[in-house]
Structure 1
Amino acid sequence: MIDDRYMPGFGNDFETEAMPGALPQGQNSPQRCAYGLYAEQLSGSPFTAPRGANERSWLYRMRPSVRHTGRFRRVDLPFWKTAPHIVDHGLPLGQLRWDPVPIPDEPLTFLTGLRTLTTAGDVYTQVGMAVHVYLASAPMVDDYMVDADGELMVVPETGRLRIATELGVLEVGGGDIAVIPRGMKFKVEPVGGPSRGYVCENYGAKFTLPDRGPIGANCLANPRDFKTPVAAFEEKDGTPCRLYFKWCGQVHVTEIMHSPLDVVAWHGNYAPYRYDLRTFSPVGAILFDHPDPSIFTVLTAPSGEAGTANVDFVIFPERWMVAEHSFRPPWYHMNIMSEFMGLIYGQYDAKERGFVPGGFSLHNMMLPHGPDASAFDKASFADLKPHKLTDTLAFMFETRFPQQLTTYAATLPGLQEDYADCWSGLEKNFDRNRREWNG
């Protein structure tokens, strides 16, 4: 069934109005806008970017955004860190994994419950990313935020979120993602109870669909499954509201007496969107061997160097495993990319134990990793009949830059000090007198 709260398509030029006639036709900036609204353009790219890369939307709002930025004062959100952020936390190099971060009893909003785990690159030159966990148990009633440093990808693991943006409302839960463009105002409300999840703050070029190459025109993430919200405004006057503005790693706040989510109509292609990860159509090996995990890329933020992403967002969803005379789980490898991995639900096929929903792992560049000993033994002697992996959804934020750990992440009680032991059972099996290894 079509949901009339959203418009389908990726990167489309949308138009939507919450009141009839609020959207001007045939021009962007009439002398007088309907209903006494103000016309304002929000640009996500330079004006002269090529047409295919040009990002902008025209907003028709009750007040221009200059009325949303009064006297700022600096505030300290001690758990929100920005690259470059290199600290001497004393944790030695190695493969790392954590248990889920508990949601505390104290009320936390999406903003105050944001905890940075890793940073990579340099926010000042707009390259790299940061990975956060969010712990949200209270709504941002009169608090709003805008991130000028990058776009935000929100990946809920438990609970649901209602994200009210300038251009409309997104509702997401476990198995969905929401993407909020750089510079867009929004607030977040947990729905039906606390919510926990992950956030990728992308400092570089915005997320886009990866090229399919020989795959052709279909499969992977299909454009029609991305949903952009219809116009919806919040009319709130005479109420003290706070707008938190993140810029070059610093957070500033200003107080205004109205809601900044006052856009009555808009058109353009610079907009928030949601995506149901269960609509991803995976492709894979249908005879032998295991292809590169890049076939599971949902969105990519390009770096300017062909084939080398600033950030890749990759998922490992339900799928059939049918490869013959092959080791079916992900193989052992070392990678020039740095991989942050999380689990939304189920079990990841390369880890038999210790990696649970809400947990996460970090395998930095050139650090070897792969299936644990139990998963290796199981896969090595499995009956290779067609088998469907069900009730599983893991994901990865992968970047070309090394990911630096924050002190918060390095000192979490859930850091698994024995993680590397999961490979301790991988003993030497080599026998020069026996070509066929039977265990």
Structure 2
Amino acid sequence: MRKWASIPHREGVHSRQAHADLPEEGLYEREMGKEGFFGPTAHLHHKHAPTAWTNWEGPLRPRLFDLNEVKGEGNSPWSAEMVLHNPHCRYRIWRPSSAMERLARNADGDDLLFVHDGEAEFYCDFGHLTLRDGDYVMIPRGTMWRIEPKGEMYLLLIEATNGSYQLPDKGMLGPQAIFDPAVLDIPKMDDAFRAQQTEDSWQVEVKRHNQVSVITYPFNPLDAVGWHGDLTVLRLNWRDIRPLMSHRYHLPPSAHTTFVAPRFVICTFVPRPIESDPGALKVPFYHNNDDYDEVLFYHAGDFFSRDNIERGMMTFHPAGFTHGPHPKAFKAGLEYKKKFTDEVAVMLDTRDALEVGDAAAVTENTAYVNSWKSPE
């Protein structure tokens, strides 16, 4: 597809380029856009921070949840507790502490596991993997699997309901950008996998339309002796992600896309140098999220654009309002106090509005909206 030159309209006081060299000291840039960060955009310059509200009424607001308080106990993934959901995505918290007694199979869509805490042995149709903190595990729809935790675990389960996960198109950057596909691990049919192929009775919990059926076998159905093809379970650890960077321009979240599904994307923010050019913005720019709901799960580190956020928490910014860095973070960015980010976070952007599950609702910090509040 060819890209013809298009000259944007300009009006009044404006910067020469987006996200750099603001035209006057004390102005604030706000980006409006379509299709997330992929469509047409406008960059407006304001005399006041676009988030400097003094009061907020009504249900549309920035929200903060402490998912450390969600129990999600049980040794079946179908006992995980619902945090957010819409017709195309189900976002759950699971805290298994013992080996699964039954195999799991999701007939509703692909699953993506993210290991926030803990270690486990993972067995599936395709073989065996050892999991650690920071691992993503992409499980194709219909795969039978189970885990044997080595202690307490804390996992995110993100289901692509009636959909599939794919890798992002890296375009002109080349296929090795962000992460080389060579770092993707697949299960091995090793000694550990063969050792669990017993003739003991096993059951499989199959989830379809969010109802669970149980199938009993007189043997362990993870009894494959080999396979070939290009469909399998994949593992990626955030430590193998090498983020895109520009010392002169703050890249949008879409530059950090890790997985894509038909109606949402998963991005991963990992440690990187902060922009060093004197005129470049050094924190996320103020922007409207008018087409997507935006969710951030905080896995590790110091979350440089937010105040009072701890690991295991989740922010939820529904579509429909402007948001951006907290005031202290914005000020620190102007002063270039930090030269490096050390945050790790999992971002979910959904095209369809998300509903908050009961498990998350009871953990909400309703004062979060006031963290941007302008002094009266």
TM-score by length of 1: 0.67
Within-5 A mapping of 1:7-406: 92-102=59-69, 108-111=74-77, 113-121=79-87, 128-140=88-100, 142-191=101-150, 193-231=151-189, 232-233=193-194, 234-239=196-201, 241-287=202-248, 289-301=249-261, 303=262, 310-324=263-277, 325-335=279-289, 336-353=291-308, 355-382=309-336, 387-390=339-342, 392-406=343-357
CA distance in 2, matches of 1:94, 1:260: 48
Does the Cα contact within 8 Å between 1:174 and 1:344 map onto a contact in 2? no
Higher fraction of strand: 1
Per-residue deviation, 1:172:
1.9
Q: What amino acid is the match of 1:368? A: T
- Of 394, 401, 408, which aligns to 2:359? 408
Cα pair distance change 1:422/1:220, threshold 3 Å? same
Does the Cα contact within 8 Å between 2:274 and 2:340 map onto a contact in 1? yes
Does the Cα contact within 8 Å between 2:120 and 2:130 map onto a contact in 1? yes
CA distance in 1, matches of 2:113, 2:120: 10
Per-residue deviation, 1:251:
1.4
Per-residue deviation, 1:377:
2.1
Per-residue deviation, 1:364:
1.6
CA distance in 1, matches of 2:175, 2:181: 11
Moved over 6 A (4+): none
Cα pair distance change 1:170/1:103, threshold 3 Å? farther
Q: CA-to-partner distance for each residue in 1:326-349, whole Å, 9 max, x for gaps?
A: 221112222111122101111221
Give the corresponding residue for 1:24. none
Per-residue deviation, 1:161:
2.5
Q: Which runs of 5+ in 2 are unaligned?
A: 1-57
Provide the alpha-carbon RMSD of the alignment. 2.1
Does the Cα contact within 8 Å between 1:110 and 1:135 map onto a contact in 2? no
Per-residue deviation, 1:169:
1.4
Seq. identity, %: 23
Q: What amino acid is the match of 2:301? A: G
CA distance in 2, matches of 1:297, 1:427: 36
Per-residue deviation, 1:371:
1.2
The count of corresponding residues between Structure 1 and Structure 2 is 313
CA distance in 2, matches of 1:143, 1:205: 24
Cα pair distance change 1:218/1:112, threshold 3 Å? closer
CA distance in 2, matches of 1:110, 1:341: 25
Cα pair distance change 1:266/1:340, threshold 3 Å? same
CA distance in 2, matches of 1:96, 1:323: 31
TM-score by length of 2: 0.78
CA distance in 2, matches of 1:205, 1:223: 22
Per-residue deviation, 1:204:
4.6
Cα pair distance change 1:367/1:168, threshold 3 Å? farther
Q: CA-to-partner distance for each residue in 1:12-46, whole Å, 9 max, x for gaps?
A: xxxxxxxxxxxxxxxxxxxxxxxxxxxxxxxxxxx
Q: CA-to-partner distance for each residue in 1:38-68, whole Å, 9 max, x for gaps?
A: xxxxxxxxxxxxxxxxxxxxxxxxxxxxxxx
Q: Which runs of 5+ in 1 are unaligned?
A: 1-90, 122-127, 304-309, 429-439
CA distance in 1, matches of 2:186, 2:159: 19
Per-residue deviation, 1:195:
0.4
